[in-house]
Amino acid sequence: MTLSSDRRRGIPYGIVLACILFAAGAQGHEVRPAYLGIAETEAGTFDILWKQPLLGYRRLPLEPAFPDHCTLELQQVADVQRAALIHQWRADCGAEGLVGHEIGIDGLSRTLTDVLVNVDLQDDTTISRVLRPEDPYFVIEAGQGRAVFSYLFLGIEHLLLGLDHILFVIGLMFFISKPSALIKTITGFTVAHSITLGLSALEVVRLSQAPVEAVIALSILILAVERLRGTTGTITAEHTWIVALAFGLLHGFGFAGALLDIGLPKSGALWALFLFNVGVEVGQLIVVAVALTLLAVIRRTGTEVPRWVVRTPLWGMGTVAGYWVVSRVALLL
């Protein structure tokens, strides 16, 4: 049923995992969303906050685009723990303001990231929009309303575009042989990361993202090494759900990184947090469903494959995770 069975059952798990890793490898890095906050302080005058994610601590070629009649004055530039670059401007758009005019993000069509835009007007109107590479601009119109459900899709993307989270979920499945164990393990992981995601996003507990990401890479390396040692006699093999619960707490802080970058809306923060967490769960279930579907299809063939084919993806996971551990610890030092 799942990925812990060995050669004698005749299921070519190596081929299955190779397919999953190949698909995930197309997005080999985590793509965090960017955030553009626009607040009208007085008629025609706006405070602008631009949080741009850094890819491998490199700046993406993204720039907010405003109407020609707006004059921008740079107020501040800051670097948040080398995970995001922050710009703050004061914009004077005169009597025309922004309503009825187009804004957007130049360069977005050449990236894989999304941008959450939040506009607070002086009349207490709040407009939210998610800009994507295929739709990087929009016209501000009164009555557009708040797009809280955007957090649901951001959660799904955060999981599916985060290769480290995908590898951890797949790594857990290598140790599972029964449906009951699968349910218990996924539940433990879900409960754990939901707790720390909520605590971190609401700023009850704050951890630096850099060491969190290093330990997340270490969690993948541990799974790969333990599975290569065998399916019995290791802590993960005997208590998979406990390992999922423990490391899930850490992955929750990793999931919170995207929310910390873009922030939660002033009104409906808990609702947005809930939807983001649901999105993470949906993404996680998609990964599990794809793996189980491929296994079910290949099981029907009864194909026998060499043992090295099963172990090759584990070596690949371990190598990638080991590289991440070294590189992320090096950045800390």
Q: What pLDDT does residue 71 have?
A: 92
Q: Which residue has the higher pLDDT, 237 or 81?
A: 237
The pLDDT score that the predictor gives to residue 45 is 93
The pLDDT value recorded for residue 309 is 64
| Domains of the chain by residue range | 7-29+162-332, 34-147
Q: Which residue has the higher pLDDT, 198 or 233?
A: 198
Residue 55's pLDDT is 65
Asked if the model's pLDDT at residue 46 lies above 90, the reply is yes
Residue 116 Rama label (left phi>0; alpha psi -120 to 50; beta): beta
pLDDT in tens, 158-181: 787 778 888 888 888 888 877 788
| Total Cβ atoms within 10 A of residue 147 | 18
Give the mean pLDDT of 113-120: 84
Mean pLDDT of 267-296: 83
| Percent of the chain scoring above 70 in pLDDT | 78
Q: Looking at residue 1, what is its pLDDT?
A: 44
pLDDT digits (tens, 9 = 90+) for 15-37: 445 444 544 443 344 456 788 98
Which of 63-67, 139-143, 264-268, 315-319 has the lowest average pLDDT? Answer: 264-268
What does the pLDDT look like over 287-298, one tens digit per residue? 888 888 877 776
pLDDT band of 68, cuts 50, 70, 90? very high
Closest CA to 105 of 160, 51, 41, 69: 51
The 10s digit of each residue's pLDDT in 210-255 is 788 888 989 999 888 888 887 666 778 788 888 899 999 988 888 8
Average pLDDT, the chain: 78
